[in-house]
Chains A and B, each alone.
Chain A
Amino acid sequence: MSVPAANALLAERIPLEGSGPVDATRQRRVVERLQRILEPDCLLYREEDTRPFECDGLSLYRQLPMVVALPRDEAQVVAVLRACRELEVPVVPRGAGTGLAGSALPHAAGVLLSTSKLNRILSIDANARTAVVQPGVRNQAVSEAVAGHGLYYAPDPSSQIACTIGGNVAENSGGVHCLKYGLTTHNVMRVRAVTIDGDVIEVGSAALDAPGLDLLSMVIGSEGMLAVATEVTVRLVPKPAQAQVVMASFDDVGRAGEAVAAVIAAGIIPAGMEMMDRAATAAVEPFVGAGYDLEAATILLVESDGTSEEVAEEIAAIRSVLQKSGATRLTVSQSEAERLRFWAGRKAAFPAVGRISPDYYCMDGTIPRRSLAKVLSAIREMEGRFGLRCANVFHAGDGNLHPLIMFDANDPDSSQRAEAFGFAILELCVEVGGTVTGEHGVGVEKVHQMCLQFDRTTLDAFTAVKRAFDPPGLLNPGKVVPSKARCAEFGRIHVHGGNLRFPDLPRF
């Protein structure tokens, strides 16, 4: 579990909206109202019942919700939202709570609306290659349910065993295969959702488009701030007949980055293309025994999938490109077991780092790949400057970087240095033309960094989009879009702390 203590330090200095103790009088009023809608076991308000909901995957931010509502059907969702609108109570939607950015952090004066009882697969249409599911259905459960038809749901975030489709829609989740198969937004056709007014809306459709503006694009990735999903139509794709992976070693990170570019330049879009630096492989190898080359500065995993003919052709092309790009060692998986073993190390990178350090702070920036060598050498330099180690795993195909900063949360100085280290990395991502979050979302964790990436007019436009869906601003308030005052306060503390390395950064 990632323990990003660092930003909590900042949160202590600039308190988040909706933090604090629960007001018992207000709680009683809301509970009395919701008791008319929900069965007793679907309405939690005693501390021992609400405590398990106090955080999501960003566990250092904790806040006891005033009330937890667990509606069983869409009619109850409508009724709960109408009641909250009438009582002016904020609503925080929550799926499985695996998110890493605190998007589902509860509100002290609000209702946490859990979709966990909306967990049915409503229909599977193998002929149309679609499934209609409720938001609380787990990502992996969809693929399991349709496997018999030779189909699967492509987005595979690392939490796919536990995370829900509703949560994926809220976060626009990615995964290791999104270079070829896309993000959630490319694999969801329609979302049925309830607005804070209690109106049921449908965005997208069972066809390939819908009339009007593409509201589906706005809803996907909106972190539960625009509407609460009650049904999602997902696109299913044929399961590839075969997959194979090439593992390549490089003695220089820059050369590995050039190799990735060379694969793309050769007209190949691999099913997955992942990179791990030596700190990451050193952490992982004793843990899983994946057979990684520990001498290499960096290893690359490049996967091809498709028909057996396609895979054979592509693997040969990938091998040849990597060889010409200066790979010092090349291994092609010869069996499904070997392929899974190569991947096991990559997938275990986070827990493996968790074993060698008391805590780690997982960053999530995206950079243009051409800046890889520059960014990684800057991170290397920052390790010295901040006195902390950092392992790097990287979705190399799409430029999504996950530096894992190792620190000790029990040591305030170490936490503070981890915070500054993380900020420096994200600033660098923005400076080289990237983004402060590739796939984990903004939530509360990156709400301050939004001030670095966007100018005020664009942030105000985001607020206007929110108000178009949610006029009273009650759905998941305080997340994603920082207020003007918050940016000003953040700027003051941040610059005074001396950490803002690029105060004249062009904002975009």
Chain B
Amino acid sequence: MPGTEPRSDATAGDDGDRRVADLVARVRAAAAAGEALQIQGGSTKAFYGEPPTGTPLPVGGIAGIVAYEPTELYLKARCGTPLAEVETALAGSGQVLAFEPPHFGDTATVGGCVAAGLAGPRRATAGGVRDYVLGVTLLDGRGDVLHFGGNVMKNVAGYDVARALAGSLGILGVLLDVTLKVLPRPPEEATLRFAVDETTALARLNQWGGLPLPLSASAWHDGVLHLRLSGAVAAVQAARRQLGGDVVERADADAFWRALREQQHAFFGGGAPLWRVSVPSTAPALGLDAPQLIEWGGAQRWLRTSAPAASLRARVASVGGHATRFRGGSPDGAVFTTLAPPVAAIHRRLKEAFDPQRIFNRGRMYPDL
């Protein structure tokens, strides 16, 4: 099949349908030939996961917002729609993607956002990508188009495959379009700063988490805790009075959280391997003698370390978490924590069910998928 070079200005409609038809034909040919394909949206998250292999399969041209209903709280967009375009459309109606996804570049797409499943600073209180996925149209490894979920918030017809595709790294197929639940932008925000050590920060974050406070983000690094409050004007003001701390100017605060989300904060500079450590929020200080930045009320801890993966993972597992080699580091060590054998077996059977020839993103998540 001849590959069609997608135009960046392509939008939904007949042209979009033709592009989908071309893609289906391309995928069917690859399945027949057993040809490995790497799905490419905006390539802003190509670094994430095991190295991509196979012939590039550009899907960025399948783009455009299909439906946006502010009062129904959903937006449906084709996979290649720029994330920035989605967020601009939402801002026009005072709404946001509550999981605050990182872009990691101007070309980030909504399909890539869902496939990567990465959420930003608001994750601990607002939920992750999967919490906002209402529907997905999936092009599977046979070239069949499958429809999971829909446009409504409450829907228990069939297994919730749409949510499970968040973070699936394209190993089950191409997300042709996604429907996301959207929310109003909180009317008021304030950011507070506290000079505290790691243990004190963790204790306070968990204590505050148990109180009816409008928390929306936290970041501790190098003896300073930033805490963001979002919600009704009166609630944010009351929480500010209750919590104390130093108020950060709004413009500086917005820049801080954006830099954190996009990993442009100074902590993320330099060449040391970056690990994302996901633990229960109450896990004690890990004591790993490495530069650290703690988010999500204590539940996400970024580490810069060249320490051996095995010892790091053992320490993290001992507190009930898992560690991902997010950027950099030795390419011969696994990016993701190994699955328990029965769970790995279910993964293999799911891969077999959706992509029997293993054409999509082979080895991107685990070597046998």
- With contacts A128-B280, A202-B343 taken as known, whether A208 is within 8 angstroms of B123 at the C-beta atoms is yes
Q: Is B324 an interface residue (CB 8 A)?
A: yes
B161 touches A218 (CB 8 A): yes
B154 to chain A, nearest CB (A): 4
Residue tally, chain A, CB below 8 Å to B: 99
B156 touches A441 (CB 8 A): yes
- With contacts A368-B151, A453-B157 taken as known, whether A309 is within 8 angstroms of B237 at the C-beta atoms is yes
Question: Cα distance A133–B2 when bound, in Å?
Answer: 55
- Measured CB to CB, the nearest residue on chain A to B341 is A199
A458 touches B234 (CB 8 A): no
A215 touches B164 (CB 8 A): yes
- With contacts A267-B184, A457-B145, A468-B353 taken as known, whether A437 is within 8 angstroms of B157 at the C-beta atoms is yes
A248 to chain B, nearest CB (A): 17
Chain B stretch 336-351: residues in CB contact (< 8 A) with chain A: 336-340, 342-347, 349-350
B210 touches A126 (CB 8 A): yes
Question: Cα distance A264–B181 when bound, in Å?
Answer: 13
Question: Cα distance A446–B230 when bound, in Å?
Answer: 41
- Measured CB to CB, the nearest residue on chain B to A429 is B152
Chain B stretch 116-158: residues in CB contact (< 8 A) with chain A: 117, 123-124, 127-128, 130-131, 140, 144-148, 150-158
Question: Cα distance A449–B344 when bound, in Å?
Answer: 34
A240 touches B212 (CB 8 A): yes
A310 touches B210 (CB 8 A): no
Per-residue CB contact flags for chain A residues 188-212 toward chain B (1 = under 8 Å, else 0) read 0000000101011111011111111
Question: Cα distance A461–B187 when bound, in Å?
Answer: 42
State which of B148, B321, B336 has its C-beta within 8 Å of the C-beta of A205. B321
Residues of A within 8 A of B211 (CB): 150, 238
A209 touches B278 (CB 8 A): yes
Q: Is B296 an interface residue (CB 8 A)?
A: yes
Q: Is B232 an interface residue (CB 8 A)?
A: yes
State which of A150, A201, A208, A395 has its C-beta within 8 Å of the C-beta of B299. A208
A212 touches B321 (CB 8 A): no
State which of B151, B336, B342 has its C-beta within 8 Å of the C-beta of A195. B342
B159 touches A265 (CB 8 A): no
A207 touches B299 (CB 8 A): yes
State which of A208, A211, A213, A268 has its C-beta within 8 Å of the C-beta of B128. A208
Per-residue CB contact flags for chain A residues 438-455 toward chain B (1 = under 8 Å, else 0) read 111110001000100111
Q: Is B281 an interface residue (CB 8 A)?
A: yes
A77 to chain B, nearest CB (A): 14
Chain B stretch 184-220: residues in CB contact (< 8 A) with chain A: 184-185, 187, 206-207, 209-214
A369 touches B72 (CB 8 A): yes
- Measured CB to CB, the nearest residue on chain A to B127 is A186
- With contacts A269-B183, A269-B184 taken as known, whether A221 is within 8 angstroms of B354 at the C-beta atoms is no
State which of A206, A209, A459 has its C-beta within 8 Å of the C-beta of B320. A206
A310 touches B342 (CB 8 A): no
Instruction: Please tell me which stretch of A38-46, A170-178, A330-338, A342-350 contacts chain B, meaning at least 4 of its Cβ atoms lie within 8 angstroms of it.
Output: A170-178
A207 touches B157 (CB 8 A): no
State which of A129, A210, A306 has its C-beta within 8 Å of the C-beta of B210. A129
Q: Is A222 an interface residue (CB 8 A)?
A: yes
Chain B stretch 296-337: residues in CB contact (< 8 A) with chain A: 296, 299-300, 320-322, 324, 336-337
B159 touches A465 (CB 8 A): yes
Q: Is B6 an interface residue (CB 8 A)?
A: no
A173 to chain B, nearest CB (A): 9
Q: Which of B158, B163, B167 has the most CB of A within 10 A?
A: B158
Chain A stretch 410-444: residues in CB contact (< 8 A) with chain B: 433-442
Question: Cα distance A458–B347 when bound, in Å?
Answer: 19
- With contacts A217-B164, A310-B232 taken as known, whether A433 is within 8 angstroms of B151 at the C-beta atoms is yes
- With contacts A129-B209, A208-B124, A465-B161 taken as known, whether A264 is within 8 angstroms of B71 at the C-beta atoms is yes
Q: Is B21 an interface residue (CB 8 A)?
A: no
State which of B153, B168, B349 has its C-beta within 8 Å of the C-beta of A399. B153
Q: Is B279 an interface residue (CB 8 A)?
A: yes
Question: Cα distance A259–B161 when bound, in Å?
Answer: 33
B238 touches A208 (CB 8 A): no
Chain B stretch 229-257: residues in CB contact (< 8 A) with chain A: 231-235, 237-239
Q: Is B73 an interface residue (CB 8 A)?
A: yes
Residues of A within 8 A of B278 (CB): 205, 207-210
B342 touches A197 (CB 8 A): yes
A310 touches B235 (CB 8 A): yes
Q: Which of B145, B155, B233 has the most CB of A within 10 A?
A: B155
A338 to chain B, nearest CB (A): 22
Question: Cα distance A355–B321 when bound, in Å?
Answer: 53
B72 touches A370 (CB 8 A): yes
Q: Is A484 an interface residue (CB 8 A)?
A: no
Q: Is A480 an interface residue (CB 8 A)?
A: yes
Question: Cα distance A353–B336 when bound, in Å?
Answer: 54
State which of B73, B206, B212 has its C-beta within 8 Å of the C-beta of A264. B73
Question: Cα distance A458–B173 when bound, in Å?
Answer: 14
State which of A212, A312, A314, A454 has its C-beta within 8 Å of the C-beta of B347. A212
A400 to chain B, nearest CB (A): 5
- With contacts A127-B206, A208-B123, A208-B278 taken as known, whether A174 is within 8 angstroms of B232 at the C-beta atoms is no
- Give chain B's interface residues, CB within 8 Å of chain A: 69-73, 93-94, 117, 123-124, 127-128, 130-131, 140, 144-148, 150-161, 163-164, 166-168, 171-172, 183-185, 187, 206-207, 209-214, 231-235, 237-239, 278-282, 296, 299-300, 320-322, 324, 336-340, 342-347, 349-350, 352-354, 365-366
List 29 interface pairs A-B (beta carbons < 8 Å), by A numbering: A127-B282, A129-B209, A129-B210, A150-B212, A178-B153, A185-B160, A199-B345, A205-B278, A206-B321, A207-B320, A211-B336, A213-B347, A213-B350, A214-B166, A214-B167, A262-B71, A310-B214, A313-B232, A313-B233, A369-B71, A370-B71, A433-B151, A435-B150, A435-B152, A437-B156, A446-B157, A457-B145, A461-B140, A462-B158
- Give chain A's interface residues, CB within 8 Å of chain B: 125-130, 149-151, 171-172, 174, 178-179, 182-183, 185-186, 195, 197, 199-203, 205-215, 217-218, 220-222, 226, 238-241, 261-262, 264-265, 267-269, 306-307, 309-310, 312-314, 366-370, 395, 398-400, 433-442, 446, 450, 453-455, 457-459, 461-462, 464-469, 471, 480-481, 508
Other contacts beyond A310-B232, A438-B154: 14, CB < 8 A: A203-B343, A206-B280, A213-B347, A214-B130, A226-B159, A240-B212, A262-B71, A265-B71, A309-B238, A366-B153, A436-B157, A439-B156, A462-B161, A481-B158
